[in-house]
């Protein structure tokens, strides 16, 4: 039961990396959807496949990775059916992406004005004058003061927070349907994070753009997402609304993750307690465990867990999990 139209649907995505040490199954049967205008948090640690999933959406998976199977539909249209030049139209226009390190996403050899204008004119037939005006307008929208003058600046002249806001401006120039944000604030100081996120949410809300917020920071997701997808070793282990995940987590991994984080305010005035430790380690993607990838670390493991991967089960409205505890 889904009240809002789905703008992006990912169905059974498989993206593998063919390395010298074997095949790394970075994304191993991932399915989820993004509704129009919503903020979807994709949460996971290293090796969870969250970044590769985002790159797969834009078909930008680097060598030696390859999208092996699955479908990704934007407003019903399967992106894997598109020709490379059609796909280029989509990137930046219908689906945009911003990355963790704004210094390396912006070309240091060009002014930010040049980059913004180019981003516009690649997709729209407008004059330089018009593009320039639009760029100035966008910079104003992301709270950059003196936007006219800033156009002439080079990336290294701006601070980290400003660069990330320029990235957001560039990504939202053409009013895309979906913004993929891969760890957008991880490289920023905490006080700057707040500024950048504020700008990002305000703009996307005005434009009706959906955000896929990829991060390992659970606090970030708790405060801003509508729904959450939790990934582990290339699979989705749990999916639900933000309340479902943070107050009623079902999958042992989700539960373990939430328990590992020190709770602010909890230790004040108290004797220090040990933090919960999930035993074991994240598995190597070239040698995933049989059955459920999480089973070697699970406190509730049963025999079937080491044999067959669990099926996806609906546990409540919009709350799904893949775990033999519930099937």
Partner 1 sequence: MEPLVKVENLKKYFPLGRRLWGKSAHSVRAVDGISFDVNAGETLSLVGESGCGKTTTGRLVIRLIEPSHGCIRFKGDDITRHRRKAMRPLRNDLQIIFQDPYSSLSPRMTVKDIIGEGFGRDSGLGSRDKKDRVLEMMSKVGLRPGHFDRYPHEFSGGQRQRIGIARAIISNPDFVVADEPLSALDVSVQAQVINLLFKLKEEFKLSYLFISHDLSVVEHISDRVAVMYLGRLVETATRDRVFQFPRHPYTQALFSAVPRTQVSQQKERIILKGDVPSPVNPPAGCHFHPRCHYSQDICTREPPGFDPVEPDHWVACHFPLKDSKHV
Q: What secondary structure, in 3-state letters, does 48-97 show?
A: CCHHHHHHHHCCCCCCCEEEEEEEEEECCEEHHHCCHHHHHHHECCCEEE
Select the span of 6-14, 174-182, 189-197, 201-209 touching partner 1 (CB under 8 A). 189-197
- Restricting to residues 4-43, name those near partner 1 by CB under 8 A: none
Q: Which is nearer to partner 1, 58 or 188 (CB)?
A: 188
In this structure, the number of other CB atoms found within 10 A of the CB of residue 310 comes to 21
Select the span of 9-17, 79-87, 103-111, 210-218 touching partner 1 (CB under 8 A). 210-218
Buried b / exposed e over 173-186, threshold 16 CB at 10 Å, is bbebbbbbbbbbbe
Q: Which is nearer to partner 1, 185 or 204 (CB)?
A: 185
Q: Which is nearer to partner 1, 209 or 254 (CB)?
A: 254
Q: Which is nearer to partner 1, 71 or 143 (CB)?
A: 143
Does the protein bind partner 1 through residue 159 (CB under 8 A)? yes
H helix or E strand, kind and range, residue 115:
helix 112-123
Does the protein bind partner 1 through residue 192 (CB under 8 A)? yes
Helix axes 190-207 and 160-172, enclosed angle (nearest 10): 10
- Restricting to residues 221-280, name those near partner 1 by CB under 8 A: 222-224, 246-247, 256-258, 260-269, 272, 274-278
Select the span of 5-13, 26-34, 87-95, 212-220 touching partner 1 (CB under 8 A). 212-220
Contacts of 97 (CB under 8 A, 6+ apart): 54, 58, 91, 171, 179, 180, 181, 182
As to burial, measured by CB atoms within 10 angstroms (0-12 exposed, 13-18 middle, 19+ buried), residue 197 is buried
Contact characters 99-138, partner 1, x per CB under 8 A: ----------------------------------------
In this structure, the number of other CB atoms found within 10 A of the CB of residue 205 comes to 12
Contacts of 55 (CB under 8 A, 6+ apart): 61, 62, 65
Select the span of 55-63, 112-120, 183-191, 233-241 touching partner 1 (CB under 8 A). 183-191
Provide the H-helix boundaries in 124-217: 128-141, 147-150, 160-172, 190-207
Q: Which is nearer to partner 1, 283 or 309 (CB)?
A: 283
Does the protein bind partner 1 through residue 301 (CB under 8 A)? no
CB of 90 to partner 1, least distance (A): 31
Q: Name the site residues for partner 1 (rule: CB under 8 A).
A: 45-46, 159-162, 189-195, 198, 216-220, 222-224, 246-247, 256-258, 260-269, 272, 274-278, 281-282
């Amino acid at each position: 039961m889904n009240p809002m139209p789905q703008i992006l649907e990912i169905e059974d995505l498989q993206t593998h990396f063919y390395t010298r040490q074997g095949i790394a199954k970075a994304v191993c049967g991932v399915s989820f959807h993004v509704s129009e205008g919503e903020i979807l948090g994709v949460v996971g640690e290293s090796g969870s496949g969250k970044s590769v999933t985002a790159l797969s959406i834009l078909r930008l998976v680097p060598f030696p990775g390859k999208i092996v199977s699955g479908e990704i539909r934007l407003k019903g249209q399967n992106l894997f059916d598109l020709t490379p030049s059609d796909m280029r139209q989509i990137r930046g226009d219908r689906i945009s992406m911003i990355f963790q390190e704004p210094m390396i996403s912006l070309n240091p050899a060009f002014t930010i004005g040049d980059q913004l204008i180019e981003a516009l004119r690649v997709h729209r037939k407008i004059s330089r004058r018009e593009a320039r005006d639009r760029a100035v307008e966008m910079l104003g929208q992301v709270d950059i003061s003196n936007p006219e003058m800033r156009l002439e600046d080079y990336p290294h002249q701006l601070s980290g927070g400003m660069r990330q806001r320029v990235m957001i401006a560039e990504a939202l120039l053409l009013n895309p349907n979906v913004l993929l944000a891969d760890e957008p604030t991880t490289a920023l100081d905490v006080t700057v994070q707040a500024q950048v996120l504020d700008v990002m949410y305000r703009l996307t809300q005005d434009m009706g753009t959906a955000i896929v917020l990829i991060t390992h920071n659970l606090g970030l997701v708790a405060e801003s997402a509508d729904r959450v997808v939790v990934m582990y070793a290339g699979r989705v282990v749990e999916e639900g609304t933000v309340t479902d995940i943070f107050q009623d987590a079902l999958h042992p991994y989700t539960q373990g993750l939430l328990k590992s984080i020190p709770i602010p305010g909890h230790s004040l005035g108290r004797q220090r307690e040990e933090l919960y430790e999930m035993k074991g380690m994240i598995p190597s993607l070239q040698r995933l465990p049989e059955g459920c990838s999480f089973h070697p670390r699970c406190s509730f493991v049963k025999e079937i867990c080491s044999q067959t991967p669990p099926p996806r089960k609906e546990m409540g409205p919009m709350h799904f999990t893949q775990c033999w505890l519930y099937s």
